[in-house]
Structure 1
């Protein structure tokens, strides 16, 4: 490769890296402000100031305020380490209890690291239809994961009184942000204890004994 071509390649990589860092910094700034001030009282201008970028940069990166909170929500999913859950699900492919524990661990990490974002989206979604759609989308993606896992189990794994949809509903009733915040905020439970209890409760409620 010629020196000029090599320089252009690395300039391109540098610009790409800088763009990613800018996106991440804007998302972090938005999360801080949304969590401390609320969705309605936070402006794009304030997010730009907090992130140290221009207002046009925020709009160019995320489109608008709704796009910004969706980006924050996507970052929340990443913070919960979805690849780790996938690896654990594959490792425990012949162990339904182990797979339930892997999914409970993901939910614990999600609520522990990004529970404020989830609650923010749900609350803001009461008046912002696009945010309500984004919140429902996150819930539906979780359900889809459970459908895929539960449907991979041999017949007779689930309790005899549960079909696939009912099993997904039971999981959602046990592992959710409200249970997590009640136990941590009101009852003094540590996240690790909740994760352990979820794993045990899911086995009792979902698997044939």
Structure 2
């Protein structure tokens, strides 16, 4: 095979890689500007300028400004490494270890993408579509917790709480506001927050 046909074979892969790189640069630019200026004050033109691309390129990648925010929300989930959580859940059927795996995922999510979560929530106060996106993300988290907790054997949860109450308690303890209060306001290292979450949820949820 000559060199030229071989190069042509990989043209499609090369174009895909270039498109992904462009999308990543746009997402990074959007994240920087949204956090620095706020969602409302940032325009698509601002994002294009920051990313070093044209405005049509931004629209081609994400559709509109709302699309940019949704892309950041998806990137937040990816940054926490869902595959690692799944592997840990499958490797550790004991409820206390599964709780530890779940809070470790949340710690990674808040540590790596907490500012995006807050941004999405704040933007949702004035943009109904973004508010719905934030609520959908919360609902997905509750559903994930439901899938794990509902698979535990009968008698795992404390007798004074049902499944929905357990999910509510998890959400009340392990969330971005508690994480921010402890790490930013009170100087806790993220690892300490994770350890406290695991111990507290084990004590509050599990029958001993």
Which range, TM-score by smaller chain?
over 0.9
TM-score by length of 1: 0.96
Is the counterpart of residue 39 in structure 1 residue 43 in structure 2?
no
TM-score by length of 2: 0.96
| 2: CA distance, partners of 1:31 / 1:89 | 31
The equivalent residue for 1:184 is 183
The equivalent residue for 1:119 is 118
Q: How does 1:42-57 map to 2 (within 5 A)?
A: 42-57=42-57
| 2: CA distance, partners of 1:25 / 1:144 | 32
Segments of structure 2 that go 5 or more residues without pairing to the other structure are: none
Q: CA deviation at 1:5?
A: 5.6
The equivalent residue for 1:88 is 88
Is the counterpart of residue 71 in structure 1 residue 76 in structure 2?
no
CA RMSD for the aligned pairs?
A: 1.3
Segments of structure 1 that go 5 or more residues without pairing to the other structure are: none
Q: CA deviation at 1:165?
A: 1.0
The equivalent residue for 1:205 is 204
The equivalent residue for 2:164 is 165
Is the counterpart of residue 25 in structure 1 residue 18 in structure 2?
no
Aligned residues: 208
| 2: CA distance, partners of 1:191 / 1:51 | 31
